[in-house]
Structure 1
Amino acid sequence: MDDVTELADLAEEQEIFDESKKLVMNIRENLSKSESESTDQEIIESIPIEKVPYKEDQYQHSFNINRNHYKHIVGVKGTMLQKLCSETKTIIRVSKKKKHVVIIGSIQKRIIHAKRRIDNLIQNSNNKLSFTHFISIPTNVSEVQQHFLKFKEDVLINCDKEATGFDEDMFQKPEKLHLTICMLHLLDDTDQRKAIRALNACKKEIIDPILQEKGPLTIEFRGLKCMERNSTKAKVLYAKVQEETGLLQKIADQISKYFVQQGFSRKEHDNVTLHMTVINTFYLKKKKQKFMHKNFDATQILKDHENTYFGKINLSTFHLSQLTAKSADGYFEATAKIEL
């Protein structure tokens, strides 16, 4: 009898079987061929589930949650929590004050199933939250700012604002020029501390090994591109990154993946779109947003600045930046920095 058959026999519900099967497959991916025939007991032992001391036939798994996730796990008048308990045949206790969850059950696989259901609820709730921070590379050095201001001046002189729907307020502020690696939702101080540790881990495990082998990186910005497919309905224009070795792309992709795995970001594409935003309709002042279109015709701007040079930087730092706060120099306030 193979593993899948054993799981099917043991599972009391089809959903539990599906979750257990996925768990078996995930574990097998990380095992050698000689270890591929894992038993159910080995799988159970790999999950951090402890026996409840006051009941010999009961098991438990406990973990912390963010206060913002409480309502998504419990639901309106406790309906979601009741559903979880009923469908997984477990007892689930959620403390809003202590930000703590305890899952208790007589069969360990039921606890695993309940934990995965809660993880999915948390991930879905995260996807609906507004971003609070982002990993950035500041590009606001003097050379880049000067070239950006020349670009801005040229656009304002030559762009037919009335015909295109363009407005001066759509320009990025020169002191805030940056490369975005990934967007984050950090809900409290605990999340921020974890994100700081994650950024330091990225330096040690990703950035340093690559740069030590290949040397320092110089990043050049040349040419303009529209984030949207239809340039007549543009919202974001950005300066393109020119970095021939491809190492910056590799670093960015791995950092983004790391933060997705930590639960602080969400995967939107296989690769990070390296971009230095120079124009964004989001920058429009709120009073203008009510009366203006949320896009503009960027066709002529893109044509005129197909090969415009925006300057270059030496890669020297990564920031864990706050979206809504700025520092004394006008750049985004940093929750943490790593210097290379």
Structure 2
Amino acid sequence: MTVALAMPGHAIRRETAGRLAMLGAAALVLLALAVTDLVTGPSGMPLGKVLAAFAAGPDGADRGAATILWQLRMPQTLTGVLVGASLGVAGLVMQTILANPLASPYTLGFSAAAGFGAALGIMFGGLLPLAVWIVVPASAFAMTLVACCLIYAIARARGASPEVLVLAGIATLFFFQSLQSLLQFLAAPEVLQQIVFWLFGSLLKSSWTSVQAIFLILCIAAPILARDVWNLTALRLGEANAASLGLDIDRLRRRCFALVALLTAGAVSFTGTIGFIGLIAPHVARRMVGEDHRFALPVAAVLGAVLLVAASVIGKLISPGAVIPVGIITAIAGIPMLLAVILKEGGRR
């Protein structure tokens, strides 16, 4: 009897250790990719010079190396890590509350809303007494929150079920994409070029301001989501099971939906439209550590960062002189990755 009682606890500890090992392995991969991203680039700084500039700090004697590392590469790499983590977490939470494996900030219209907001900022930002680098991300951020309110208003009018939220998100996606197309049609050629480049999704616009803003949003969202890990895990096992445990599903769904909008707005308002990160990372995370959101959330965050930083490295390696935007890389690589996930899911069933 003693052995029988001890076995479940031992199995749980072993499973927890395995999940923590998975998280640690993903973090090591992210660290290696981040270092690679700092080393690669048009200037061709070798690893030794990068490490020397890092050790010397922003005010190091080698001003050229310090400027390249601390003002260009470091903000881009850190922004990639934070944006990838935000999209990975947002995708996992959205798939959980909507019980839909295809749900993500990109597929439900949040990214399209941000693109429309950015296009508005680019076209009409000159009419405001503010710098364009402030107007564009602020407009993208605001329009993402508007999309969140629009989706939830539609869903609430028809009953806030997962199916209605998904349909409202798809309708919002096409609505904001059509508005994007209208602005592109009306824009002057030079403005059109700026809009199209923003919609590609790029880390080249990153700065320490973007790093601080996205990090602040993550610090706001993470504790709230950490408090709901058990609720999200219960919801993932089915609404009936969650309701039998006394969980207020509608309240949880509203809270998480607002957090997803906040994370997405903070991520894409500085980098532009980046797809598939919030769709792929949650699937891979669940295959690695299961449905327990205590582990799935941090793993999805790390994997989202891994995917985006890897896309940055690939873009630099393919075209060192003119870095390919990460949004293009994630779109191209995301399709076979998604098909692989679908095939594995089907094989497992």
TM-score, normalised by the number of residues in structure 1: 0.25
Q: Which has the higher contact order (CA 8 A, sep 6+)?
A: 2
More strand by share: 1
The structure number with the bigger radius of gyration is 1
TM-score, normalised by the number of residues in structure 2: 0.25
More helix by share: 2
